[in-house]
Structure 1
Amino acid sequence: MRRSVFLRLDLRWMRFSLKFHAVVFAITAVIAGLVSTSLDLHEVWMIALATVVVPEVFHFTEPFIWRYRTLHRTTYYVTNQRVVSVPRRRARSARLAEIDNLSYVEEKDGSGYIRLDRRIMPDGYGNGTVAELIHVPDVHEVVDLLSGLTGRTPVAH
């Protein structure tokens, strides 16, 4: 089974995030240009790099780094009350009543992934709830189970 950390839905988030980060960088460049009259240009860019660029790059890459580090060790459980994801020792869960979206993508081999909410940003370390089930071997079986438990109609992408 393929183990990519990127999903089709991630492309929307990446496009938005890259545009957002470009605007943040442009604003930082303008501020650095205004401040550069009183400081050395090298000092201004080092301050901008340390305070804006590095945190923004981490914010953009963190969900994918988290997926890469935990994906092969993640186990999903579906009970009659919640969906639980255990990526290591720290379990995350979503109550079935809180699932506001049930969409899925099925690959040619029957595997796929399931989204449980409408968040565009990928599910990374900072999220305390389960937003997606990645690399599900039989996606139809799990979607049918969740549809029956939640009463939601699944939407294929």
Structure 2
Amino acid sequence: MDNRDAIGSWLSGPRAAAERMGVEFGYRGERLGLPKDGPGSIAPVGRRLAAVLIDWLLSVLIAYGLIAHRDARAANSWALLVFAVLSVISLLLLGSTPGKRLLGLRVVRLDGNRLGLGAILLRTLLLALFVPAVIWDRDSRGLHDKAARSVEIRI
């Protein structure tokens, strides 16, 4: 391997370098037995991020309107708690948060059934910590989903 190959593999990432060497990764969700696309397939990362942003903005509005309307600076402090409560209640009742529902996503167990309360609480706690949510595996599942044995799918 000459220097250009080494630099090229570094720039394109380890997955691209492994694929050039003949490693077959398959599509996202194949290891989990999910379809490649359409309903039931792994939710796209951009749509998942947009759903979290919608949920966060909704949480800020609720925190401002209900809790912190007397002190606007306190709204952001309360927004994380509102976000967590909104996530737990909506995942428990509907299987998706308002942002996920709006964008056609759902959170389910790996076997396709609804998440239980314990898994929802664990997933929400890790999501609120932020860092576990931005570390993904090759199926685009964050550590919060891996810990809760869940997956975000299209509906």
Tell me the TM-score normalised to structure 1 length: 0.31
More strand, by proportion: 1
Q: Max radius of gyration: which structure?
A: 1
Tell me the TM-score normalised to structure 2 length: 0.32
